[in-house]
Structure 1
Amino acid sequence: MKIIWRACSVLKTWRNSMAKAGRLPDFRKMYPEASEEIISVLKETERKMQYQEYDLKAEQAVLDRKTGRVSILPGREDSLDRMMEAGLFPDRGEQDIEAEICSRLQYEKLHRAIRQLEKREQYLIIQLFFCGRSERELAGELCVSQNAINKQRGRILQKLRKILQNLSF
């Protein structure tokens, strides 16, 4: 255990001072007393760390043989700024405007559907979903059981779904 801890600390020091992508340190020279199993674990760990630090971030040049044009493919771990500059991401403002328009249209459609309900049904839906009242409160106010309110709510929601499906926008 002491050897592994020491190996990790030496590995960090080595990495900070002279690490280069693709080059593995000679762990056998660094730790002559370590077993083969420990050496293989150190090599595997080092290669994984190099992969995370270098390979994922490295760009690749690709030559188009027909046109002779060289294209740069970004690494799999790419910066958001570079991707936005390249036009790979839409502007956040456009998405917000689209979402706002869609939600407003949905609200209008929902309110049109609610207006097609009977007055008692409208009252129940508005109280439950827009005013935040509980089924128990409404049951007390309307002198019916909470179970009756729950069943009415279910029937009204089914009715609303049908109305919304038939409404065109």
Structure 2
Amino acid sequence: MPRYNMYYPDYEKLYPGIEKRPDILRVLRASDRKMRYMEKGLKLERSVWDRKKQTIASLPSREISLEELMEDGRQQFSNGPTLDEQVQHQEELRHLHQALCSLEREYQLLLYFRYWKDMSQEDVAKMLSLTQQAVSYRERYALQRLKDFVQNGEKKKF
């Protein structure tokens, strides 16, 4: 007769009728074994003596789970962008810079004030002695030229 405790719960008593589903019982018992394994932390470490360096290293006898790594504050995998993504991003920025440089100075200034300085069209119009409608038209024109440059790789001066 098995002894029931937190490691060996009586599933028949907890879940009446579960004996009809041996597949579910098998999964529950397997998960219990995993929990016992994790709680005991079967880390039977082995000491290794390095004669050349005159040091002792401690080697764990099993792999450490991702949960344990996260609890210890260690990081298994980087959450940041991969090297390929970083290179692609740099290439896109370089291409956008080329596109901006291909615009005439007045369009560069207009985009600078609108997007980098976050100014309204009215404020930019006052600063450049234009109407708000002219700023709106020139902004739309400049953005279309940038879009064309980026999509088509055009090298001409706009």
The higher relative CO (CA closer than 8 Å, separation ≥ 6) is in 2
Q: How does the TM-score come out when normalised to structure 1? A: 0.45
